[in-house]
Structure 1
């Protein structure tokens, strides 16, 4: 719900609970508890009853944002953690836990889970050894992956697999000593950092202009985005969307654009409100560009007006 739609939050939140959770009168949660790593690993066997097929194809068929929630552990672990809670309530808990990270991060983490399961397919790792992931499997996976990725990417891969376990209330395989060993090994084996990218130059924009069809809306959108990013110091990701027909709520709309005019009514600057950004979170932030009258070709205000 939107803030302006809330009138009686207490009553509305209770009604929401009835809708998404329902009655818990017959649910026994007393038998559910947090499991220790030793309890988990000792319970894994080929006789475990799976709740889903843990494979790269199964994972790849899911939307990335749903991977962490939908790929679940064996039935006995679900029962040990959640007692007799009904499946839809367990799923609600998992979805809630998955919101520990934002949507883009959930999608990224889902991709890392897919990559792990493809690796498990290649090595014929038994189903019951794929999730939760035993310590030896974790170390073997990263020992083979480390030479092919940058340290930052490897760190995100670890975080993705950790988040997968956290969503299902399962312990992470590595204790403090093993986790430190993993971090240090990844740092030493990872690809060296890339050289710093050269600064963007005016010649780059001139090259874009030479190849741009000003009558093509896609061309003008890309060029406007590049200019606006340059002059407002915005991140490209703040101004773009993955799917045009379904933009994420964190991306600005036309209604978030405000023009500031001078005394003669001419547009002097454009203020773009970002509903969310990395630094300010969901409190929002304004990106501002001013008219570049000395070089109209490089003017973000003129480009935006043409695009709109």
Structure 2
């Protein structure tokens, strides 16, 4: 029994070593709670998660793509396009608006998957093409201006309403997270995705259908980007053809900060949500700091901070990976 004690003591250390983003999140929340009045208010917490639900959805989809060793640069444009489609369909009811946005996103994801798996185009190039194409469709469908949603309908409740006191976008995101968590951790599909990212040839020899799994992860990514677009339209009361710029980078940053390897083969949806929350919280804290009037950090400097933070995380992740090898 005593021989197992070192291993038992080492387990918490290994766990904490892989939870840097969670530790940073807890420390940041503690710091902000002590420094800023109203930081832990129901209004701030609700507003924070209602807005960041869109990024969490996109990052969850991105996690599935990245664990296979792929990338999806189209998600920001897809969200913008889906917001326009949802707004155009909103006069027919909230379900029509929801389906229009989600189906539009799923179709782009399907196109990405087909181009990558059947035509064997590199994911970077394929999704760069749909990044441009989806943005163009959004601008054409909206005549290059915001498309107002049906003011007399209930579509706006998707983004602005609450269920049992919890913002509806948060409820939707939690449901997606739970399904995705089980899918990635406890199904053959999830094991296939991780195996493909770790070693595609070995995954094929193990009997996994590599092409089908890759196709499905891009459909998942597109679908969740479409759902994020629906929330965008309903939250702001209009389809936004010019929105979503840089969302793909925010999603990738959240995934990487959460510890998912950009090379694939390892990933966690829980850590992705932690990473997105941490990134969002940094800017929430900066807004509170600006409100104190001591310093003033505009949006451009916030982008610099985001870029530096991501670069540091990638460098640390790369160093850790080399040490494991």
- Shorter-chain TM band: under 0.3
- Which structure's residues are more often helix, by fraction? 2
Largest Rg, 1 or 2: 1
Larger RCO, structures 1/2 (Cα 8 Å, 6+ apart)? 2
Q: TM-score, normalised by structure 2?
A: 0.20
